[in-house]
Amino acid sequence: MSELTRFGVSLEEDLLQAFDKLCERRRCPSRSEALRDMIRKELGQEALETGNVNAAGVLTLVYDHHVPDLSHKLTERQHDAHDCIIATMHVHLDHHNCLEMLVLRGPSHTLRELADQLRAIRGVKQGSFSLTPLDLDY
């Protein structure tokens, strides 16, 4: 981590008040810490949007395992992508529904494509996906 640099920021009063309320809700130790987190988050988002970066992802799927062939299709696709899937967890939610959580690591474009393919399989009811860029050293 490099040295800290101070700089002045001019904000409208109401924007500053909203920022301070957000900091309070999120229990940020200081405005500086909150601003650093926001800048890192934006830079990370931009890296994910503009390039194929090394990333970690979490994909959560909810599906009815009674749908014919669905469990088999999901398993087949996951085995094809075994190099990107570092952990999975399967929960039997109720008589019909399963929740599967996959922890992924690899090139962001590959992870996004895998998530899209798994979510698109007929019978998958819900699919949420989040990506976090790795290797950003600031």
The dihedrals phi and psi of 93, each to the nearest 5 degrees, come to: -70, -45
Q: How far, rounded to the nearest angstrom, does the alpha carbon of residue 3 sit from its chain's CA centroid?
A: 29
Would you say 64 or 119 has its CB closer to Ni ion?
64
In the complex, minimum distance from the CB of residue 91 to Ni ion, in angstroms, rounded to a whole number: 7
Provide the angle, in degrees to the nearest 10, between the axes of the packed helices 108-120 and 70-80: 170
Q: What distance in Å separates the CA atoms of residue 64 and residue 125, rounded to the nearest whole number?
A: 8
In the complex, minimum distance from the CB of residue 82 to Ni ion, in angstroms, rounded to a whole number: 20
Binding piece for Ni ion, criterion CB under 5 A, among 24-32, 70-78, 85-93, 114-122: 85-93
In the complex, minimum distance from the CB of residue 71 to Ni ion, in angstroms, rounded to a whole number: 8
- Decide if residue 92 touches Ni ion (CB under 5 A): yes
Binding piece for Ni ion, criterion CB under 5 A, among 34-42, 77-85, 90-98, 124-132: 90-98
Tokens 């810490």 locate to 33
